[in-house]
Structure 1
Amino acid sequence: MQRIVPDDSPSFRYPGGMKDTILFLKNFLRHPTQVGAIAPSSPGLVQTMVEGFDWESARNVVEFGPGTGVFTEAILKRLHADAKFFAIERSAELVQATRERCPNVTVYQDSVTHVAELCQRESMPDVDSVICGLPWASFSPTLQSEIMDAMISVLKPNAQFATFAYWQGLALPAGRRFASRLHETFTEVKRSPTVWRNLPPAFVYRCVR
């Protein structure tokens, strides 16, 4: 039996409250294949996403799909003082939400397939860590491959990558295809315990290039 990851908020309130939840739901209804969830990630999932990284040594960090900025906020608390960091988000509303939550962070409204160009703009020759909130199980095979290839082109050897997945996504062909692609691409792929107190329940893939 998998253990339950405890939520760090006794009342299990989502960061940002009802405002962020409504914003997330609106974007899901408009673009379900881009957002992939009906609510922001819970504090427990946020903690699980960021706890596996080597923050002491990571100097170039990129976030894919920050949504309302809950992962972004957690990343900022852990970044080394000498680290560079930026995020990429397609939704204009979610870009604004992340900028409001984390006003000192560079957030590009763009596709993550352009990560190499954005890294050049940020003077990042390569990337140590990628934290990803994208809905892989909602993507077509072509888009999955385009995003993965773009990311691999900037990851340095031994770089770390983390992304979360919902349990129901494993039943979808796209979810199974993504899991297979991870094992083909990375030398190490681990799966966290399930965060049951998330809507819906989720787990984190932790990978090393």
Structure 2
Amino acid sequence: MLSQTRPAGGDTLTFLRAIMRNPQQLGAIAPSSKAVARLAASVVPATPGAVVVELGAGGGVISDAIRDRLPPGGRQLAVEVNEGMVSHLRRSRPWLEVIAADAGDLGKLLRQAGLSHADAIVSSLPWTLFEEARQRRVLEEISASLVPGGTFSTVTTLTVLPLQRFRHFRGLMEGTFATVGTLGPIWRNVPPALVYTGARAGERPVEDLPGEPGAG
């Protein structure tokens, strides 16, 4: 399913305004590039009727990439806590199920939407802005919300890799998922970005997932 064409400037301007109003919610200096969005969305399965949830949808660039890969009969939800971005997503992407809420309540949000689990979860949450306890809570919610065979991806930038909070997050990823891998980097993103992926026990290895390793 292909997303409708829309001016990219509207997404970017809305994103920048949201950053100026509340930088602690977004944790980025610019929206993800389309190349990063495609990489993050590469975990979307081809299974008809698959449920895909995006955490921290922001301006909607990754939402569009997910929609492009969504299989027939699939359902796409976006969880976003920033009020300005929620309004923008609902206005610019009426096809998207936007939930104005915190990703730490993911299990409850899925139940409220009439769902028990998701087949894939895609994130651009600002992990290094989260205290360690919050990192753990959100990752536990993500893991518990995935079906057997489900996958998780999250965008991060190369600039945060040395930070202690990111190293702790990476450790939590390894303790939460049976397999953890990386896709990228995407050098043309500002700043350059990676996508981390995780899979629950018993699933196919993350390195076998479709993606664009090394794309720049």
Q: Fold conserved (TM > 0.5)?
A: yes
Where do residues 16-95 of structure 1 align in structure 2 (5 Å cutoff)? 16-56=7-47, 59-95=50-86
- Residue from 147, 163, 174 that aligns with 1:156: 147
Is residue 2:199 matched to residue 1:205?
Answer: no
Q: Which residue of 1 aligns with 2:117?
A: 126
Q: Distance in 2 between matches of 1:41 and 1:101?
A: 17
1:117 aligns with 2:108: yes
Amino acid at match of 2:93: C
SS at match of 1:192: strand
| Percent identity of equivalent pairs | 30
The verdict on how the C-alpha distance between 1:78 and 1:17 changes in structure 2, with shifts beyond 3 A counting, is closer
Structure 1 residue 86: Cα displacement = 1.1
Q: Which consecutive segments of 4 or more residues in structure 1 shift more than 4 A?
A: none
Tell me the residue number matched to 2:184: 193
Q: Which amino acid aligns with 1:129?
A: A
SS of structure 1 residue aligned to 2:71: coil
- CA 20–82 in structure 1, closer or farther in 2 if over 3 Å, else same: closer
**For 2:9 and 2:77, how far apart are their aligned partners in 1?**
26
Matched, 1:179 2:170: yes
How has the CA–CA distance of structure 1 residues 135 and 53 changed in structure 2, closer, same or farther, with 3 Å as cutoff? same
One-letter amino acid of the structure 1 residue matched with residue 96 of structure 2: V
TM-superposed deviation, 1:57 = 5.3
Q: How large is the RMSD of aligned CA atoms in angstroms?
A: 1.7
The residue aligned with 2:157 is 166
Mapped partners of 1:176, 1:30: distance in 2:
28
Q: Does the residue aligned with 1:171 lie in a helix, a strand or coil?
A: coil
1:16 CA displacement: 4.2
Q: Is the alpha carbon distance of 1:16 and 1:132 closer, same or farther for their aligned partners in structure 2, counting shifts above 3 Å?
A: farther
Structure 2 contact 128–165 (Cα < 8 Å) conserved: yes
Gaps of 5+ in 2: 1-5, 201-216
SS at 1:51 equivalent = helix
User: Greater RCO between the two (CA within 8 Å, min separation 6)?
Assistant: 1
TM-score by length of 1: 0.86
Q: Secondary structure at the match of 2:94?
A: coil
Give the Cα–Cα distance (whole angstroms) in 2 for the partners of residues 129 and 35 of structure 1. 22
Name the SS of the counterpart of 2:29 in structure 1: coil
Residue pair 1:58, 1:128 contacting (<8 A) in 2 also: no
The CA deviation at 1:18 is 3.4
**Secondary structure class of the residue paired with 1:104:** coil
Alpha carbons of 1:132 and 1:58: their partners in 2 closer, same or farther (altered >3 Å)? farther
